[in-house]
Amino acid sequence: MKLLTTPLEIENTICNLIKSYNLISFASAWASTSSKAFPLLLKHSKKINKIIVGIHFYQTNPNFIKEFIDDKKVKFKTNPTGIFHPKIYLFENNSKDWECLIGSANFTEAAMQKNSEVMIHISSDDLNSSDVYRQISDEINNYFETATSFTQNDFEAYVKVWNKKLKKLRDIQDVFSEEDNNKPIYKSKIIMSDWNTYSNLVKNDKNHSYEIRLKLLEKAKSYFNKNSFETMPENYRKQIAGIVKNDNEDQELDWMYFGHMASPRFKKRISDEYKNISKALENIPIEGIVTKDNYLNYIEYFKKNDTYGYGVPTISRFLAMKRPDLFFCLTGGNEELLYNDFGIKKIERKEYERYWDDVIQRIHSAEWFNTTKPNNLIEKQLWENRSAMLDAIFYTGEI
């Protein structure tokens, strides 16, 4: 008998046992396809004797189910009384030659690569092994008899619900991207702020730029309300892109707030490629909901042309100017405090999807973000620019 206490130890043991024995049986609350054990299980699928997997809370990945549609040896607990929660892995040649793992680890990537798990490793060499083997086999058989195979129709229906439930599940788990999250969301001072706290933090920024920032964002929105990026006057495009500082119509405004893009090469790209940038921006509606699909379509042009001059600061600048209610301009001047408060790793210049997953999704989960629009005129204006105005809280650099 042996105690396994690390994900690596558990995963390596399961993989070795899959290769070593003639028959594989297990019961797991959930299953996924990203561990090393899954492709190995498919490679040795002829060894499968009985597998039972739960789908409670829709935490079993559809890709696992897809591999075993109409498979008579792999069944799913589709409507259990209570939660189907066992984790038993039996590998055998016969009743006198076997090994088994019992404990907390599901057949998932998280259990075998990230989580804190414990498994007891027992075998036919242990004391009272005959009785233990019989009990284990009986339990697996009982699970199997009350489970069902997935049909193609079952699978398609499951996928539809799984897609709807996934975001809620990830929100509950504080999971936003594939990056490790080293800080639970409830420890974020900014995300957990109510509207009054958030509003006071913005208004009390040490640069005393609250009014200027709001005026700039309101003016940028007015540009987009009247024109596409392509049809704007050139000086408007330069202001939106943050490559000029002054505003001839309003000397108080400084267009290098919210990050500036004043390098000569970037200036040339704005002049040469503004029509393509405009087409990309058309994927972001001027009002209403912006989905991740909208965002992915928007960044496609920048990803295809991702040489010096584009990157997360650039694409987030355009987004914050067009939809300051939803987007935040990530810059070198504000990233340090944001990363510390959100508990995330630095987002590199080309990590476009992480900007949505790790920054925007966290912002959109905040209490202050989801508050009802205030009636007070000044507070209402702040609410309409609330994501972009986080810069007033996080900004530490020089304008």
Query: What pLDDT digit, counting tens, does each position of 102-125 carry?
Result: 999 999 999 999 899 999 999 999
Question: Final residue of a domain: which of 118, 142, 172?
Answer: 172
The four Cα atoms 78, 80, 82, 83 give a dihedral, to 10 degrees, of -50
Tens digits of per-residue pLDDT, 337-357? 999 999 999 999 889 999 999
Amino acid sitting at position 313? P
Cα→Cα distances 204→63, 192, 197, 211, 370, Å: 49, 18, 11, 11, 21
Does one domain contain both 252 and 211?
A: yes
Q: What is residue 41's predicted lDDT score, i.e. its pLDDT?
A: 97
Q: What is residue 301's predicted lDDT score, i.e. its pLDDT?
A: 87
Using 50, 70 and 90 to split pLDDT, how confident is the model at 399?
very low
How far apart CA 184 and CA 193 sit, in angstroms, is 15
Q: Is residue 177 part of a domain?
A: no
| DSSP symbols for 260-307 | ----HHHHHHHHHHHHHHHHHHTTS-SSS---HHHHHHHHHHHHHT-S
Residue 322: name the closest of 288, 357, 293 by CA: 288
Q: What is residue 176's predicted lDDT score, i.e. its pLDDT?
A: 61
Q: Is residue 180 part of a domain?
A: no
Helix (H) or strand (E) holding 53: strand 48-54
Q: How many CB atoms lie within 10 A of CB 30?
A: 22
Where is pLDDT greater, at 359 or 81? 359
Please state the separation of Cα 60 from the chain's center in Å: 17
CA atoms within 13 A on the CB side of 254: 13
Does one domain contain both 226 and 168?
A: no
Does one domain contain both 164 and 206?
A: no
Q: Is residue 179 part of a domain?
A: no
How far apart CA 261 and CA 317 sit, in angstroms, is 9
Q: Is residue 267 part of a domain?
A: yes
Q: Is residue 73 part of a domain?
A: yes
Does one domain contain both 121 and 255?
A: no
Q: How many CB atoms lie within 10 A of CB 356?
A: 22
Q: Of 47-56, 257-266, 322-331, 355-364, where does mean pLDDT reach its minimum?
A: 257-266
Does one domain contain both 313 and 339?
A: yes
Write phi, then psi, for 319 (nearest 5 degrees).
-65, -45
Contact by Cβ (8 Å): 286, 298: no
Q: Is residue 117 part of a domain?
A: yes
Q: Is residue 399 part of a domain?
A: no
Tens digits of per-residue pLDDT, 298-314? 999 888 876 655 889 98
Does one domain contain both 128 and 248?
A: no
Question: If you average pLDDT over every residue of the chain, what do you get?
Answer: 89
| Residue 159 lies in domain | 2-172
Does one domain contain both 9 and 58?
A: yes
- In CATH, what number is assigned to the domain containing residue 163? 3.30.870.10
Tens digits of per-residue pLDDT, 183-209? 677 688 999 899 999 999 999 876 668
Tokens of 375: 């009636």
Contact by Cβ (8 Å): 281, 302: no
Q: What is residue 299's predicted lDDT score, i.e. its pLDDT?
A: 93
Q: Is residue 55 part of a domain?
A: yes
**What is the arrangement of strands in the sheet containing 119-123, beginning at the earlier edge strand?**
2-4, 119-123, 97-103, 87-94, 23-28, 48-54, 74-77
Q: How many CB atoms lie within 10 A of CB 184?
A: 10
Question: Final residue of a domain: which of 172, 204, 219?
Answer: 172
Cβ neighbours of residue 43 closer than 8 Å, sequence gap 6 or more: none
pLDDT for residue 182 is more than 50:
yes
Does one domain contain both 234 and 149?
A: no
Sign of the torsion angle spanned by Cα atoms 255, 261, 267, 268: negative
Q: Which residue has the tokens 């998280």?
A: 110
Average pLDDT on 69-80 reads: 90
Q: What is residue 36's predicted lDDT score, i.e. its pLDDT?
A: 95
Does one domain contain both 243 and 368?
A: yes
Rounded percentage of the chain residues whose pLDDT exceeds 70:
91
The model scores a pTM over 0.85: no
Tens digits of per-residue pLDDT, 206-234? 666 888 899 999 999 999 999 999 999 99
Q: Give me the number of domains the chain comprises.
A: 2
Question: Final residue of a domain: which of 123, 151, 172?
Answer: 172
Does one domain contain both 15 and 72?
A: yes
Does one domain contain both 118 and 139?
A: yes
Does one domain contain both 160 and 281?
A: no
Average pLDDT on 384-398 reads: 90
Using 50, 70 and 90 to split pLDDT, how confident is the model at 272?
confident
pLDDT for residue 83 is more than 90:
no
